[in-house]
Amino acid sequence: MRREPSILHLDLDAFFAAVEQRDKPSLRGRPVVVGGVGGRGVVSTASYEARAYGARSAMPTAEARRVCPPGTAFLGTRFAAYKRTSDVVMALLRELSPLVEPVSIDEAYVDLAAGDHDLSVPGVTALGRALKARIAAATGGVTGSVGIGTSKALAKIGSELDKPDGLTVVPAGQELAVLHPLPVRSLGGVGPATAERLASIGVKTVGDLHRLSLVDLTSLVGQAHGAGLHRLARADDDRPVVPDREAKSVSAEETFARDLTDPARLAAEVEALATRVGSRLQRSGTSGRTVTLKVRRFDFTTLTRSQTLPHPVDDPRQIAEVAHRLLGAVDRSGGLRLLGVGVSGLSSYVQGDLFAEPVPPQPEPAPVEPEPVEEEPPPGPAVVAWYPGQDVVHPGLGAGWVWGSGLNRVTVRFEGPRTAPGPVRTLAADDPDLRPGDPPDWSDPVDAGTAATPDSGP
């Protein structure tokens, strides 16, 4: 822990949804859910308007559709657009310090002590305000929440305390006063299962956790996990800011207070771990081909089992399916003390929607002939599997995005980040003039040649 609040943590607010609302003016102020739009889809990000109805990250899209009102926009991901915006933000952070540690596409730590800054509380407060204003101006209105503290843990907690568009500075000497009233879930590494075990002995806040002895805590959650939580409850965190780290894998694990033997409970734990891993993959804009299951048996022997898939995945349900198969091949007699799920072989994905169920190609009907013919006419062109939110361009109507598709038709709203809400047009799904487009440039005042006449959507 440092003597000055010199570590900054930035977390962009509802990032994927914020980029969608910036690029699609008709969605501003409306609930927006980004992620998988197919039957097995999972929510990557929900706008704050959608969160008010209960939508959240890692929720099945089908459940989000049930809780959100009519008119909610459910969009596939556009990683190229998010990456372009993220690059602008990360460049601004690197102007503050050579030590910038990106955690994901929308989150990073900055070591302010490595730059030429006034590290007093008024100094870093002014710096945080100026950074937030620069980010909003450079990204066309995307906001971020900033926390500044004497450690990475305090900076991250600070960025969560006043969302969205917040700024919290935790002065040196005030760490415990800030930490102790917070729920234990505020600490990194405290997931639902750990929080439930702590609650069973009356530990609900970080202050309650601080009062536990190291022996009691490690007996409840395990040696390594317990030691880490014991330090965090005391604001003891000396982790450095590590620039340009590249994750080789994403994983999550849980140590149980009692060895688990119940198949239903084990299955539920696998689902929860897969959800955590999939959510982190989606937030970082990556996917991986190898799924790994880690188990520690009652006798403390540790086993890992892996399966490499033909294509990369980031869908929690697909990850869980593989992990269930791997668990089925493990001897669980005597019980399991630890479960872990991980994905490796990571790469960036650029698909718009990894979760949607594509529309199968369909031939056009044969033309009506006045008399029977002996040969079948050749099938017509295949229907393109457009997905909601996809960037498109039309030579006559300009640039826009897919509102929806089906029945060999695609509905497009022609608008961009610097236009008024644009008109909606329905075209044939195989219209040769309609093509996938690049993400719009929010800094260009004439971003698409979009028709400016507003029109109500379907």
pLDDT at 124 over 90: yes
What is the pLDDT, as a whole number, of residue 384? 57
Confidence class of residue 330 from pLDDT cuts 50, 70 and 90? confident
How high does pLDDT run on average in the chain? 86
Residues 57-94 as b or e (16 or more Cβ within 10 Å = b): bbbbbeebeeebeeebbbbbbbbbbbebbbebbeebbb
Average pLDDT over residues 328-345: 88
* Sheet-wide strand order for 100-104: 100-104, 107-111, 7-12, 144-149, 167-169
What is the pLDDT, as a whole number, of residue 244? 63
Average pLDDT over residues 117-129: 97
What is the pLDDT, as a whole number, of residue 2? 87
Average pLDDT over residues 174-187: 93
Among 93-97, 107-111, 275-279, 367-371, the minimum mean pLDDT is found in 367-371
H-helix or E-strand spanning residue 309: strand 302-313
Q: What is the DSSP string of 118-134?
A: --SHHHHHHHHHHHHHH
Q: Give 452 or 93, the one with higher predicted confidence.
A: 93
pLDDT at 272 over 70: yes
Supply 256's token pair: 């149980």
Residue type, 344: S
Residue 271, Cβ neighbours under 10 Å: how many? Answer: 16
Q: Give 306 or 452, the one with higher predicted confidence.
A: 306
Average pLDDT over residues 116-125: 96
Reported pTM: 0.74
Confidence class of residue 355 from pLDDT cuts 50, 70 and 90? very low
Mean pLDDT is highest, among 25-34, 329-338, 372-381, for: 25-34
What is the pLDDT, as a whole number, of residue 188? 82
Residue type, 248: K
Annotated active-site residue in 4, 20, 49, 107: 107
pLDDT at 363 over 50: no
Average pLDDT over residues 32-61: 89
What is the pLDDT, as a whole number, of residue 219? 85
Residue 6 near residue 319, CB atoms below 8 Å: no
Fold classified for 249-348:
Dna Ligase; domain 1 (3.30.1490)
Nearest-CA neighbor of 147 among 168, 126, 165, 133? 168
Q: Give 218 or 139, the one with higher predicted confidence.
A: 139
What is the pLDDT, as a whole number, of residue 247? 64
Q: What are the extents of the domains in the chain?
A: 1-170, 180-232, 249-348, 380-458
Domain 1-170, classified CATH 3.30.70.270, yes or no? yes
Average pLDDT over residues 28-51: 90
Q: Active site includes 107?
A: yes
Average pLDDT over residues 26-47: 89
Architecture of the 180-232 domain: Orthogonal Bundle (1.10)
Supply 397's token pair: 């109507």
What is the pLDDT, as a whole number, of residue 207? 94
